[in-house]
A = this chain, B = another copy of it.
Amino acid sequence: MANVAFIGLGVMGYPMAGHLKTKGGHDVTVYNRTAAKAEKWAEEFGGKHAATPAEAARDQDFVFCCVGNDDDLRSVTTGSDGAFATMKKDAIFIDNTTASAEVARELDAAAKEAGFHFLDAPVSGGQAGAENGQLTVMVGGDEAAFERAKPVIDAYAKMVGLMGPAGSGQLTKMINQICIAGVVQGLAEGIHFGKKAGLDIHKVVEVISKGAAGSWQMENRHKTMNDGKYDFGFAVDWMRKDLGIVLEESDRNGAKLPLTALVDQFYKDVQALGGQRWDTSSLLARLEK
C-alpha cells in the first residue's frame, strides 16, 4: 500500500483513480480542475481531495496524472501550484495523458533535475478499458522507476510495457493511433462497398475476419458501423488531437504518413457533419454522406 495522488478525473482518470483505491488498496488523494468532481470521487471511493496539484502531490510516493493535452499537462506539473513543486525526493510521477514525446522529455528532465522520476505512460483501451481496469499502458522512462511503478499501475491495466527512454510511451501510443487510422478507414470503405453491393455485412465478416483482412476493429466495430451507431468509445475530437501530435512528431523525425494525414482530414469532415463526439468508426458516416 502506497500514498498515491491522481490529477485529472475525466472519463479515463475517474475510474483509473478508483481502481488505485479499490483494486490497488492505496491511499489516494485526487485533484480535479472542477472541484465538484473531486469531491464526488472522494465521497464515492472514500479517498481525499486536494485544492491544487501541488497540495495533492505533497508527500506522495506516486503521483498519477491524466489530463487533456500538453498545455494542461504543463499547467498541472510545472505551472503555478503545479505538482512538481511538492514532489518528494525519489517519488515517481506517472503521466497517463496522451501528449507529445517532446513534453515527456521536457518533464523527465525537470523531474531528474529536482530529484524525482517521471514516466510517460499513455494508455489505450478507451473508456471501457478504464472502467474495467483493463488498459494497455505504454511506458517511457528509466527501468528502475518503471519496476517500482509497475505493480501500482497494474491496478488499472491488463498490459504494461516499458518501451524505452522518456517519450517512448508517447511514441508507441502514436504508432497505435497510426495503425488504427488505416484499419478503420479500410474497414469503413469495405463496409460501405459491401452495403452498396447489397451484401450481408455480418456474413462477410464471419467469412473474412480470421484471415489477412482481419482486425480488432473488424471484430468489434462492424456491427455498430453497419447499424450507423457511433456512440461507442473514443471520440473523433480526441482522435484528431492524437493525430495532430502524430503529424507534428513526424515532421520532427521525418516519417512519411500520407494515409494518416488523409484520415485526419477525413475526421475533419466528420466533425463538420456534427460528429465531434462520435467514435472513430464514424469514418463510415462520411462515406455515406
Q: Hey, what's the 0/1 contact readout for A215-254 against B, CB within 8 Å counting as 1?
A: 1111010000000000000100000000000100110011
Of residues 184 through 226 on chain A, the ones whose CB sits less than 8 Å from some CB of chain B are 184-187, 189-194, 196-200, 203-204, 206-208, 210-218, 220
Across the interface, name the chain B residue whose C-beta is closest to A177. B213
Does B176 lie within 8 Å of A125, measured CB to CB? no
Does A199 lie within 8 Å of B213, measured CB to CB? no
Does A214 lie within 8 Å of B215, measured CB to CB? yes
Does B197 lie within 8 Å of A159, measured CB to CB? no
Taking the complex as formed, is A164 at the interface, i.e. its CB lies under 8 A from any CB of chain B?
yes
Does A213 lie within 8 Å of B124, measured CB to CB? yes
Does A172 lie within 8 Å of B208, measured CB to CB? yes
Does A174 lie within 8 Å of B186, measured CB to CB? no
Q: How far is the CB of A27 from chain B (nearest CB, A)?
A: 29
Given the complex, which residues of B lie within 8 Å of A254, measured CB to CB? 196
Does B175 lie within 8 Å of A181, measured CB to CB? no
Given the complex, which residues of B lie within 8 Å of A68, measured CB to CB? none
Taking the complex as formed, is A179 at the interface, i.e. its CB lies under 8 A from any CB of chain B?
yes
Count residues of chain A with CB under 8 A from any CB of chain B: 69
Given the complex, which residues of B lie within 8 Å of A114, measured CB to CB? none
Given the complex, which residues of B lie within 8 Å of A101, measured CB to CB? 197
Given the complex, which residues of B lie within 8 Å of A179, measured CB to CB? 186-187, 189-190, 208, 213, 215, 218
Of residues 159 through 188 on chain A, the ones whose CB sits less than 8 Å from some CB of chain B are 159, 161, 163-164, 168, 171-172, 174-187
Does A164 lie within 8 Å of B256, measured CB to CB? no
Q: How far is the CB of A163 from chain B (nearest CB, A)?
A: 6
Across the interface, name the chain B residue whose C-beta is closest to A220. B212
